[in-house]
Structure 1
Amino acid sequence: MEYLIMTKALIVLTNVAKYDSLDRPTGLWLSELTHFYDVMRDHQVEVDVVSPTGGYIPLDPHSMMSMDVTDWKYYQDSDFRNQVLGATLSPDQVVPQDYDLIYYAGGHGAMWDFPASTVIADIASQIYQNNGIVAAICHGVAGLLPIKDEKGEPLVANKRLTGFSNTEEAANETTDAVPFLAEDALKELGANYQAGPSFTSCVQVDGRLLTGQNPQSARDLAETVIEHLG
């Protein structure tokens, strides 16, 4: 197996623990972190984790109802819980030049704090303009919305990408619970949005912008990121 040397990834997680208009918990969709993290570790990619406010990361309880071997591997690891989930960096602790890629994990919480985090968007823009990769999955694509390219235009404009679809949101019965629909917001910025069948793996690549549609896409997206790093 070939290993990447001196490669570093920055993973972005949400701090939001509750739907704004519902008494319903949300947060990170666990597998969108664990499967990506697992692939990075398998290829010796060093990982740091950041969130809009730093510190503790809430988990969406629905994501813990169908945990697989990879999810349990990390959830039962006290160092992972305490350091990765319990003590994320704040944006002001991040030096963009240190990273070869940035990855936005999802969970419905990301729909609120990712678009508002212009500081993390600026970090992502710097990584991208330094020939790094920007990746996002599911609701994590909300983090792409405020990112600008070198001309100050939306990074997603005219880019082929994916993210949680309107059909999937409707199937999840959360269409009216989110502040906007990820698919619609990407299209409004000029993205060439593509979706595969609901809740099956779908990865889209447009240069150094790599996206996954849903939680089922996390490992495939991570493997695709590795291919593009190599």
Structure 2
Amino acid sequence: MTKALIVVTNHPKFGEMDRATGLWFHEAAHFDNVMKENEIDVDYVSPNGGYVPIDPLSLAPDDMDSIDWNFYLDDKTRNVHLANSLKPADVNPDDYQVIYYAGGHGAMYDFPENKDLAKIASSIYERGGVLSANCVGVSGLLAMRTTDGKRFVHGKKLTSFTNDEEALNGLTNDVAFLPEDELKKSGADFSKSDPFQPNVVTDGKLITGQNPNSATGVGEAVIKALLK
């Protein structure tokens, strides 16, 4: 049975600013929905396990569609996946053929240096599994290294939340870092589309999306990669 592991943040607040953050709900719900439509089971893991904060802005009426509402009202989503997510020590990478790093600004704080999650992702990828990430979640790839110690993202074709999109959010000077800049510094072959338009970049078994609106496309690209 094919299984996917969805990585979500535990971080509830911007660094020095009194503003809540966490998982951008749409990014988990829409990817999870594609997995369910293709009869792929999912588990959720977070850096510390347990409770997963949701960015309150992602639950605004204008940002919630029917898929988001279905998942928001689903008992398992609320009571298991988001209330009691797995911690890395609970995860056997051999059980999964897909890993997906979901975004939300909280991911900037607990993804980029998390070696435990990076080991899980590397194990799945090195066994021929699909490594995927979306928006700010792509920053989780910064913790990964190749067997010779180089940055995993070096030379890889990918995308993430862009500097332009962060500027439009008005948060350029408030975020921990700019994912586009950090990925480029690490040698990634970075590309982007217009702000907040769906954009998915595939490099073999590595699949990344630019922004929340790319989450469904990332899921669909994962399915295509599994069928190859």
TM-score by length of 2: 0.97
Quote the residue 2:112 is aligned against: 115
- Please state if 1:59 is matched with 2:54: yes
Q: Tell me the number of residue pairs that the alignment of Structure 1 and Structure 2 aligns.
A: 225
- Please state if 1:126 is matched with 2:114: no
Given the alignment, which residue of 43, 50, 53 partners 2:45? Answer: 50
Quote the residue 1:10 is aligned against: 5
Does structure 1 conserve the Cα–Cα contact (< 8 Å) formed by 2:113 and 2:142?
no
Measure, in 2, the Cα distance between the counterparts of 1:110 and 1:76: 24
Quote the residue 1:69 is aligned against: 66
Please report the RMSD computed on the Cα atoms of aligned residues, expressed in angstroms. 0.8
Secondary structure of 2:111's partner?
A: helix
Structure 1 vs Structure 2: percent identity of aligned residues? 50
Given the alignment, which residue of 175, 178, 187 partners 2:175? Answer: 178
Stretches of structure 1 that go unaligned for 5 or more consecutive residues are 1-5
Given the alignment, which residue of 90, 93, 96 partners 1:96? Answer: 93
Stretches of structure 2 that go unaligned for 5 or more consecutive residues are none
Given the alignment, which residue of 169, 194, 197 partners 1:200? Answer: 197
Report the residue type matching 1:156 in the other structure.
V
- 1:60: Cα distance to partner? 0.3
- 1:78: Cα distance to partner? 2.0
- 1:84: Cα distance to partner? 1.0
TM-score by length of 1: 0.96
Measure, in 2, the Cα distance between the counterparts of 1:53 and 1:160: 30
Question: 1:114-167, CA deviations, whole angstroms, 9 ceiling, x for partnerless residues?
Answer: 012110011111111111111000000110001112333211110110000000
Report the residue type matching 2:29 in the other structure.
T
- Please state if 1:23 is matched with 2:23: no
Given the alignment, which residue of 213, 218, 224 partners 2:221? Answer: 224
Secondary structure of 2:112's partner?
A: helix
